[in-house]
Amino acid sequence: MPDSGLLYKEWKQNKVALVITILVFILGNPLSILNMYLIYQGCVTGKENWVGPCVFSVDYLNSTFISVFWIWGVVLAVSQLGIERSKGLFDFTLSLPYTRGQIFIAKFVLGGMMIVVPQFIGYVLSVLLLLLLKPDQAVYFHNYSLGMIIVSMLAYSLVMAGGALTGNTFAQLLVSATVTILPFLLMTLPAINLEILLGGTVEFIHGPVPEWVQYLFPVTYVVPNWVEDSPYYLVIPAIMTIIFYIIGYISFVKLSNERNGYFFLWKPLDRPVQVIVIIIGIMGFGYFGFAATESFAGYIFGMAAGAVIGFLISYFAIYKKNKKHL
């Protein structure tokens, strides 16, 4: 268990974000059910204006307050790492009589508790509310309510890992957002470009793909449709959460803070990432050029534009120090 002094310091430093997160997590699920109940009551009192029978259905495939709970995992991680660096408080944290490992664990444990415990309380309150209101049906209630705890932890762990690798808030968010679609960037985008170059169909793109593969994309969990499949697939984001925690812990412990304000804290990452960004720019803009003009000339023009844009974005993002840290 982390030192109580460290936990208290993290609480005081991020009190506003933590309190808002707790309230949202506790109230979000019950309020979603109450909102569905009010819609049902509106149907009952104004039945002549509705099409079909009035049914009180708690359906978590429709838009609910808890469908955006993952955003609060992002907010907490940015507050604990990115904003702390931007405010110049990180050096003070590292000067405290604790190891870097203890500091990261304290941050992660506090953030994790603020995600898991309030959501579970909100889930219990929602169960009691369902017993009171007695809906005709509750679709995916348990799977989605409990699954969102894992999804929120995935978002939190991912952005914490991004913050441990990078030197400012923008870099933290950009790296985290890129990782959410990384399987597409590494697999699908090259395959699409290969189709264009070969002038034919690359069979494995259009062949049968196992259902579980989509769950390797963190972006899959942004929309609630994942709840339609087996709840056992949630093992995948749970494992990814552990992996991102390990990456974040090792990065926080091993990387120095002296590159504060730069994109990556570990300088050797600069050049390889810049090359990857340029390559992705070439393939991405090449594909859009081909799709827009349906010609190989448009593909070549798109590749050229992508190379220039990829270079400029990577150069100014990675090599230019954030002026707030000068």
Q: Per-domain residue ranges for the chain?
A: 1-166+223-260, 182-216+266-326
Q: Please enumerate in sequence order all residues whose Cβ is within 8 A of that of 256, keeping only pairs 6 or more positions apart, or say none.
A: 265
Q: What is the pLDDT of residues 62-110, one digit of tens each?
A: 767 888 899 999 999 999 998 888 777 787 888 888 899 999 999 999 9
> What is the pTM for the complete model shown?
0.87
Average pLDDT over residues 107-129: 94
Distances (CA, A) of 232 to 112, 223, 250, 315: 22, 18, 29, 42
Counted residue by residue, the chain has a size of: 326
Bridge partners for 264 per DSSP: 166
Q: What is the pLDDT of residues 218-245, one digit of tens each?
A: 888 888 888 888 888 899 999 999 999 9
Q: Rounded CA gap, 29 and 32, in Å?
A: 5
Q: Does the structure show a pLDDT above 50 at 165?
A: yes
Give backbone dihedrals phi and psi of 137, rounded to 5 degrees, phi first.
-155, 150
Of 181, 124, 174, 172, nearest in space to 149 by CA: 124
> Cβ–Cβ contacts within 10 Å for residue 62, how many?
14
Q: Rounded CA gap, 101 and 105, in Å?
A: 6
Q: Does the structure show a pLDDT above 70 at 141?
A: yes
